[in-house]
Amino acid sequence: MERLLGNPRAVLVLLGPALLVYSLVMLVPIVWSLVYTVYEGNAVSGFEFVGIDNFVRFFNDPTALEAVGFTLRYALILTVLQVVVGYALALLYVFFLKKASSLVRTLVFFPVILPTVAVALLFRRFFEAAPTEGPINSIMEFIGLNTFDWFGQPDASFWVILMMDLWRSMGFYAVLLYAGVVEIPEDIIESARIDGAAGWRLVRHIILPLSLPVLLSATIFSINGTLKVFDSVVALTNGGPGTSTTPLTVYMFQTSFSFGQYGYGSTVALMLTVMCLLVTIFIFRASRRDLTRNEK
Amino acid sequence: MTTLAVTPFHRRVRTFVRRLPVFIGVAILLAIVAYPLIWLLLGSFKQQDEFLSEPFWSLPRSWSLDNYVEAFVGGGLGKYILNSVIAVFPSMFLILLLGTAAGFALEVMVWKGRGAVLLVFLAGVMIPLQMILLPLFTIYFKLHLTGTLWPLIITYTATGLPLTVFMMATFFRAVPREIFEAATLDGANIYRIFWSVGMPLVRNALFTVALVQFFFIWNDLLIALTFTNSQDLRTIQAGLLNFTGQYGAVDYGPMFAGIAVNVVGTLVLYLFLNQKVMKGLTAGSVKG
Amino acid sequence: MITARGHRRRNLSIVAAVGVGVIALTGCAGGGGGGSSTKEFTYLGQTQNTAISGTLDVLAKDKCAAAEKAAPLKADAIDGTTWDQQLQLLAGQDALSDMSMAGGTPSLMQEFIDSGKVLNLSETFKKEGLEGRVLPAAESTIKALYGGGDLYALPTEFNIEGFWYNKQILADNGIEAPATWDELVDAAATLQANDVQPFIAAGKDGWPITRLVGDYIARDLGPDALKKVADGDASLTDPEYVAAADAVAELGTAGYFGAAAGSIDYNTALNQFLTGGGAFFYMGSWALAAFNDQEQNKIGVDNIGFTPFPTVEGGKGTIDQVPANVGIPVMFTEKGYDDDVAQWLDCVTANYGDVALNEFGQVTGFVVNNPPADQPALTQEVQNIIAEAPSSVLWFEAAFSPEATAVSQKNGGGLAAGTLTGEAFMKLVQDANK
């Protein structure tokens, strides 16, 4: 039996194609780009070896560091929001709406389908201050507050981007986590109920530990997506006002392709990859500890 | 067990009262997510000046289909939808097949170094796509693949694999090992175990992953813009940019008509997949 | 066991087939696209620009039929949002089209020129005897833009910029079209006091605001002032330069650009002007297409006047130095240039101006031999200004690095919204311009 499940040829046949495609299309270009980090220049004017200059520059580049700050702030807050709201929705589907959840799930999932261009347009109109007033400002005026230029100020823009991305992705995380929660065997929940666990206690002591693996996947998935935010920022604020909402991806794209500094752009991308790696390892470590504690 | 003393009727009232805030919450939630759909559909009937001068919530002045005609005839939307379909579905198929097989090999099968390979795949989740564009462009160009939809299919497949492999491995981990062990004792070979035992067990997961990947790929703009260097190869997302002018002027009506067509199409697909997921779920266990 | 082995073989062959397919995909599926064996005249443009490919199509059918016969036109387009990225990628593979729209940033063009990818049109014109087909103002604009003293692109578009104003609003408030900056500021104060928004601008896009800074510098310090900054002979943080940004920032702090000035996009701004929502609108002459469109223009095209950017008292610049731009011009590649393309170049330079103006209403930098019979008065006025202009000035960021351009345009909105001082703005741009 062990021999059958450990058959090397079978491993090769099943794993080989995926590994091959993945290596050729992602790993090779990555290594290729890594080489560029010690060069300066671009595909048109040619490359010149500069050693670690790009890395020195990165740590002395205020725009890059501002982008790191924005990226981390955005990713951490949005990941927490996405997973928490998504999980709350998943629990809502499974335990409150039950069989009727299909319609709600579909509707809440719906924003994911919308193209970024459309979502950004929607939010720009929603938060518009002038010349026509959007609904948010109308409401604020109605309850006696001043209208506010949401896109004219860094903090406000930041929160509008967060709200937009949460709005469009919460249904997605809900479905993702729903698939995990719904798989929890009925008899375990039933026996916990008989033992008197209900409501919050049931969730805290039975459901949550059992859905930890899928929560972990969702968190890792979310943090790696949010650290690489690109489309929504470009479409909604294009990094503004000023460069206050510019994430590393946008900065990297600009340096590589608009500023013609492909080497430095690759360096920025590498730093972003390292950030993703560190955060993921951290989450893994933290969860491992948590998992083993719960299993004991 | 104090609850034993309460009559069923009391319990029902109490349950209802306790759940009332939840129902109100659900209603608000639905309003927040459904309103944009309505806004979008209404928008696809509006004229340019209605977008700019009328309030946000106004109804269109007329219900003419001009914008849809403009989107398809002037904007060439039909061709772009076809391109998207040609690029997205083969990629989806490859992602699911290769990803599930790899997930199986990495989680169910036992061999040295599988942990490391899983980590290698996981690393792919972290790589910013922007970083691989230039090398990939060079590769595709040297292979004479530019000018076709192959670069999209290949890139989508490769970029979709890390997450799929990772998720499928997670789902296989949740399957009790005894099932596979029992199957091996029955004398089935490993491919049969994968295809006839493993696959059906992760059926629901497969649809979930399919859903996830579909929306990723369908909504992609970066890869589509980088690797399609011809008008005839544009995907629908790139096609929607057609309604923007050189100095930033946007043709709202036809753009919204295009978005509406796009959304309705994907919604139908979602409902189909959702149906499948539901069927799979009812075949398994149903939560009470 | 027999069935099991049979299964194994079938499964193996499926996987093998997939594997081979993948290898075929990545390995040897060539031949489909890319190279062209039979000679074609290839053109690549941005999807957002339909005037150039449209004009070329018309030319191919009529005036350029001979060139079309020798090497048929093959026009294609990709999206403008990733234009510079695509050009770089294509140039890196030496795969630029025979003719294509130029790089969006002047510095990218500079790289193309330095690496010998772009055809030197000055030399070619001399060799082929094609001189005198490009208007002097347009030629000087392109030369100034890419430096080096030679022409590397054709002006398929030529725009002047200045203040367009709502005649009715100005008359109602007893204001004449201002000739000096002080008159402009006074006019704005009067309008503001009468509850009319003095200026309309797309602050979100940044450039409509930074153009004002650049024009002010040209009027105050002379047309070569920004070149000095680019060459390192002066700094934007020098007080005389900061004064220009401060002058614009003062308009912002006074609220003359209206509420949420930094968040308004192009469409909204244009619509606001065309529905009577404000008095002055700084914009390029490409907007004439919208002005002449009755669907969009609710105030009537006769109600719109044009006034050049006003002079600054005591300044070195004069009012007839028109702020101008060539949109995105078109370039020819060195590599693709041969007798067939030469034939196209000859025909395009001779006829483009006429066809673009007559068929698409597009004002170009080419000499026009047969102007259309009846044009709207405003369009005619713009053409006269172009024809009579002794020289032109470039916009604020024209000579700057792409980084500085990006920083400038990203922060322009802050000036209009009154959230950024002139000094802070100039420091940001200067720091980015290395």
Categorize the per-residue pLDDT at C20 as very low, low, confident or very high, splitting at 50, 70 and 90: very low
Name all domains of chain B by residue range, CATH numbers in brackets. Answer: 75-243 (1.10.3720.10)
CATH for C41-131+327-364 is 3.40.190.10
Domain positions in chain C? 41-131+327-364, 161-324+394-432
Q: Tell me, yes or no, if A156 comes closer than 8 A to chain C by beta carbon.
A: no
Q: Do A172 and B212 touch (CB under 8 A)?
A: yes
Residue of A13, A25, A260 with shortest CB distance to C108:
A260
CB contact under 8 A, B22 and A96: yes
- Enumerate the domain spans of chain A: 1-28, 37-295
**Which chain A positions have a beta carbon within 8 Å of C105's beta carbon?**
258
Of B33, B56, B208, the CB nearest to A108: B33
Identify the CATH homologous superfamily for domain A37-295.
MetI-like (1.10.3720.10)
3-state secondary structure chain B: CHHHHCCHHHHHHHHHHHHHHHHHHHHHHHHHHHHHHHHHHHHCCCCHHHHHHCCCCCCCCCCCCHHHHHHHHHCCHHHHHHHHHHHHHHHHHHHHHHHHHHHHHHHCCCCCCHHHHHHHHHHHHHCCHHHHHHHHHHHHHHCCCCCCCHHHHHHHHHHHHHHHHHHHHHHHHHCCHHHHHHHHHCCCCHHHHHHHHHHHHCHHHHHHHHHHHHHHHHCCCHHHHHHCCCHHHCCHHHHHHHHECCCCCECHHHHHHHHHHHHHHHHHHHHHHHHHHHHHHHHCCCCC
Assess whether pLDDT exceeds 50 at residue C19: no
Supply the pLDDT for residue C406. 86
Which range, of B42-46, B278-282, C280-284, C285-289, averages the lowest pLDDT?
A: B278-282
Which residue, among A272, A281, A217, has the nearest Cα to A250 in the 3D structure? A272
The rounded percent of chain C whose pLDDT value lies above 70 is 91
Residue C21 has pLDDT above 50, yes or no: no
Q: Considering only CB atoms, which chain B residues are within 8 Å of A184?
A: 287
Interface contact B259, partner C, CB < 8 A: no
Asked whether residue C148 carries a pLDDT value surpassing 80, the answer given is no
Q: Are B233 and B250 in contact (CB under 8 A)?
A: no
Chain B residue numbers with beta carbons less than 8 Å from the beta carbon of C76 are 229-232
Mean pLDDT of chain C: 86
**Cβ-Cβ contacts under 8 Å for C198 (sequence gap 6 or more):** C187, C188, C189, C191, C192, C251, C256, C257, C278, C279, C280
Interface residue C263 vs chain A (CB under 8 A): yes
Residue window 89-128, chain C: list those with CB within 8 Å of chain A: 89, 91-93, 105, 107-108, 111-112, 114-115, 117
Cβ distance of C18 and B98 shorter than 8 Å: yes
- The contacts of residue A67 (CB under 8 Å, 6+ apart) are A243, A246, A247, A248, A250, A251, A268
Q: Look at strands C321-325 and C280-284 and give their pairing.
A: unpaired
* Residue B35 touches chain A, beta carbons under 8 Å: no
Q: Is A13 on the interface with B (CB under 8 A)?
A: yes
Nearest to A44 among C18, C115, C277 (CB): C115
Determine the Cα–Cα distance for residues A108 and A110; give it in Å rounded to an integer. Answer: 5
**Would you give the DSSP letter of residue C180?**
B
Chain B nearest-CA residue for C11: B191
**Looking at CA atoms only, how far is residue C177 from chain A in angstroms?**
25
CA–CA separation, C193 and C15 (whole Å): 78
Strands C41-46, C99-101: pairing is parallel
The Cα of B247 is separated from the nearest Cα of chain C by a number of Å equal to 8
Rounded mean pLDDT, C42-68: 91
Checking if the pLDDT of B74 tops 80, the result is no
- Percent of chain B clearing pLDDT 70 (strictly above): 91
CB-nearest to C91 from A43, A151, A239 is A43
- Write out chain B residues lying below 8 Å of C90, CB-based: 229
Contact call for residues C354 and C368 (beta carbons, < 8 A): yes
- Answer for the pair C325, C284: CB distance below 8 angstroms, yes or no: yes
pTM: 0.83
Residue B280 pLDDT more than 70?
no
Residues A170, A278: Cα–Cα separation, whole Å: 25
pLDDT in tens, C202-220: 988 899 999 999 999 999 9
Q: Model confidence over C153-175: pLDDT tens digits?
A: 999 999 999 999 999 999 999 99
pLDDT digits (tens, 9 = 90+) for B259-268: 888 888 887 8
In this prediction, residue C1 has a pLDDT band, given cuts at 50, 70 and 90, of very low
Q: What is the pLDDT of residues B136-181, one digit of tens each?
A: 988 998 898 888 999 999 999 999 999 889 888 888 887 888 888 8
Cα of B142 to nearest chain A Cα, Å: 14
Contacts across the A-B interface (CB distance below 8 Å):
247
Q: What is the pLDDT of residues B238-273, one digit of tens each?
A: 888 778 777 667 788 888 888 888 888 887 877 777
CATH H-level, domain C161-324+394-432: superfamily: Periplasmic binding protein-like II (3.40.190.10)
- CB of B85 within 8 Å of any CB in chain A? no
- Phi then psi dihedrals of residue A107, to 5 deg: -65, -40
Q: Contact A122/B39, CB-based, under 8 Å?
A: yes
Mean pLDDT score, C270-288: 92
B154–C contact, CB cutoff 8 A? yes
Proportion of chain B above pLDDT 90, given as a percent: 12
The residue of chain B with its CA nearest to that of C284 is B247
Chain C residues whose beta carbon lies within 8 Å of the beta carbon of residue A46: 115
- The alpha carbon of residue A176 is apart from the nearest alpha carbon of chain B, in Å, by 7
**Strongest mean pLDDT among A27-31, B122-126, B180-184, C278-282:** C278-282
pLDDT band at B277 (very low <50, low <70, confident <90, very high): low
C-alpha pair distances (Å), C63 with each of C67, C342, C351: 9, 15, 7
B231: closest chain C residue by CA: C77
Q: How far is B173 from chain A (nearest CA, A)?
A: 9
Confidence check: pLDDT of C17 > 80: no
**What whole-number distance in Å separates Cα of residue C93 and Cα of residue C147?**
25
* Residue C234 pLDDT > 80: yes
* pLDDT tier for residue C370 given thresholds of 50, 70 and 90: confident
Contact C117 A44 (CB under 8 A): yes
* Confidence tier at C38 by pLDDT (50, 70, 90): low
Question: A213 and B173 in contact by Cβ < 8 A?
Answer: yes
Flag if B188 and C49 touch (Cβ within 8 Å): no
Q: Please give the pLDDT value at position B6.
A: 58
Alpha-carbon gap, residue C18 to C26, rounded angstroms: 12
Work out the average pLDDT over C29-41.
51
Spans in chain A with pLDDT lower than 50: 294-296
Which long-range contacts does B176-181 make (Cβ < 8 Å, 24+ apart)?
A: B177/B108, B180/A5, B180/B108, B181/A1
Please give the single-letter amino acid code of residue B26.
Answer: V
Q: How far is A21 from chain C (nearest CA, A)?
A: 7
Q: Check CB contact under 8 Å for A230 and B26.
A: no
Distance from CA of C308 to the nearest CA of A (A): 26
The HSE-up count of residue C244 (CA atoms within 13 Å, CB side) is: 29
Q: Among C15, C260, C413, select the one facing A13 at the smallest CB separation.
A: C15
Q: State chain B's mean pLDDT as an integer.
A: 81
A-chain CB neighbours of B120 within 8 Å are 27
How many whole angstroms separate alpha carbon C43 and alpha carbon C65?
Answer: 16
Residues 6+ away with beta carbon under 8 Å from C117: A44, C91, C94, C96, C333, C334, C335
**C204 inside 8 A of chain A by CB:** yes
Instruction: Say if the Cβ atoms of C26 and A24 lie within 8 Å.
Output: yes
Residue A285: Cβ-neighbour burial (10 angstroms; 0-12, 13-18, 19+):
exposed
Query: How close A182 gets to chain B, by Cα (Å)?
Result: 7
Q: In the prediction, which pLDDT does A3 show?
A: 66
What Cα–Cα distance (Å) separates residue C258 from each residue in B166, C43, C251, C266? Answer: 52, 43, 10, 15
Q: Is residue B29 exposed (0-12), middle (13-18) or buried (19+ Cβ within 10 Å)? A: middle
Q: Report pLDDT for A218.
A: 86
The pLDDT confidence band at residue B78, using thresholds 50, 70 and 90, is confident
3-state secondary structure of A39: strand
Neighboring chain C residues of A23 at a CB cutoff of 8 Å: none
A116-126 and B252-283 are packed helices; what angle lies between their axes, rounded to 10 degrees?
A: 110
Q: In chain C, how long is the greatest CA-to-CA distance? A: 101
Mean per-residue pLDDT, C17-34: 38
CA of B176 vs chain C CAs: smallest distance (Å): 24
Q: Which positions in chain A touch B185 (Cβ < 8 Å)?
A: 1
Q: Which pLDDT value is given to residue C25?
A: 39
C129/C18: higher pLDDT: C129
- Could you say which of C46, C76, C271 has the minimum Cβ distance to residue B53? C271
Kindly tell me if the per-residue pLDDT of C57 is higher than 80. yes
- B194 Cβ under 8 Å from any chain A Cβ: yes
Residues contacting residue A212 through CB under 8 Å, at least 6 positions apart = A287, A290, A291, A294
In the complex, which subunits touch C with 3 or more CB pairs below 8 angstroms? Answer: A, B
C258 and A13: CB-CB below 8 Å? no
Q: Which residues of A touch C15 (CB under 8 A)?
A: 13-14, 16-17
Is C315 in CB contact (< 8 Å) with chain A?
Answer: no
CA atoms of C192 and C259, how far apart (whole Å): 12
